[in-house]
Structure 1
Amino acid sequence: MTSGAGSGRYAHLDPDTGPAFEELAVLADGDRKERLREEILRAWLPMAHRLARRYTGRGESDEDLRQVAALGLLKAIDAFDPRADTPFGAFAVPTIVGELKRHFRDAMWAVHVPRSVKDLRTKVFRAREELVARAGQQEVTVGDLAAHTGLTQEEVLLGLDAENTFTTLSLERPLGGDGSDTLGELVGQEDPALALVDDRAAATAGLRMLPERERRILYLRYFMGLTQKEIGDRVGLSQMHISRLLRRSCDFVREQTFAAPRT
């Protein structure tokens, strides 16, 4: 069995986790399976961190990159079949790199945009390039794009609008030629807490349904501002376990929020 090696020029450093993967494949969900997943995760984290270092200097902190790489590693662990001929290292690298690239692709957007709108933007952008290249059209209409993509004109317009979310105007941008006035001077200010009132009210029901431990972890992260490592030290869990609990808890609260009837 070769599931413990094969991640490139560092293959000689790869841990031998073949027996652990074989046991993991036959275990039912439970504490033993969770502990075994974490043991494999810890064994392969150095490899994931090496991959994360390739993306340093691109605007993301090293800690964030390591967490994204660790998330990709977890996905690889859960998807890996120890009966396959591919070594785990060779299987995990594309998954981790894909997670890192996906993170940067999503982080490029200046404001949050739903995935469906991003997909529309990509389809419209590619269609416009194809029409210009194929027919030499410099003026491509919304109708042309709709006919080429099979989208409705409303969807095309939404995709075109999404292009504007890649960048934002600086508030320091001068409005006049003399540079005396800036865009920021025309923008009023409001109490940032006001924007949180509705969100907190909507999330209350979901938060109350969480176990006490998860509520405490959310409080330490988002109200006290502790890092995942600091939280793990307080509650006696690993940083990766804290990361998973945060993600699951946030997903649960979000699902309960959107599922709640609107009044």
Structure 2
Amino acid sequence: MITATITERTAASEQTASTENEQYAHATALLTERAECGGRDRHCARLREQAIVECLPLAEHIARRFSGRGEPYDDLHQVARMGLIQAIDRFDPRAGSNLLSFAVPTVMGEVRRHFRDRAPTIRVPRRSRELYDQVKIAREELAQEQQGDPSDEALAERLQTTPSAVRKAMDDCACGAAVSLDAVGTAGGEVPALTERLGERDPGFEEVDDVLVLDPVVRGLSPRDRRILGLRFYDCKSQREIAETIGCSQMHVSRRLRQTLSRLRAELTAAT
């Protein structure tokens, strides 16, 4: 029983493969005849169109092979058909190869190029991608019915989901593609490239880090040393002005600053 079933399936598979080979062999013969007639009159155009129609199952097969990878099947099918047309137009029967061996890598290359150029750089959750495709269709339908852009609530009602889910799907897919930093916008006039609109590094962040590191160390100094440091580095006074302010000699101020800075340096080095 099992042997008979296997034999039947093998025979059916061989028959299908034979039919496909005959189909593509006939397409090769059509393109050979087209090449011989020069490819310029209406008869040659009909031969080309017939060869394309006979090879359409190949495009469908390759599109299905790449389906389920985040891109709609209809888009993949269209890209595969475009690749098939390119393969038929570029096929030269005089080169010695058959059409099938030439068309398959050409069509697959076109589909892979589509993934490279159009597929999201950042992987979008499958649920968001599926809902996003449904939202696009529902938006077109509601736009025609309402004669205007539908709201998120209307889309959610049509798709039997929540407005927040609709917005999440739109946001997720909008973030799925990378944007060139050198791209120049034109909305509302010419917009500078992103590289010219990015903020520069804020020096205030480094100052905050310095304060957080220095604060506990400075608190360990005597009030007099802290005052000398504040007058020197916060008020930017000279050593002579500091001496006049606190009522001591300039030499004393110089010595206290040197000792205080050495202590701070040693404690900070030990802390890091």
Q: TM > 0.5 between the two? A: no
Computing the radius of gyration from Cα coordinates, the structure with the larger value is 2
Query: Which one has a larger percent helix, Structure 1 or Structure 2?
Result: 2
TM category, shorter: 0.3 to 0.5
Scaled by the length of structure 2, the TM-score of the pair is 0.36
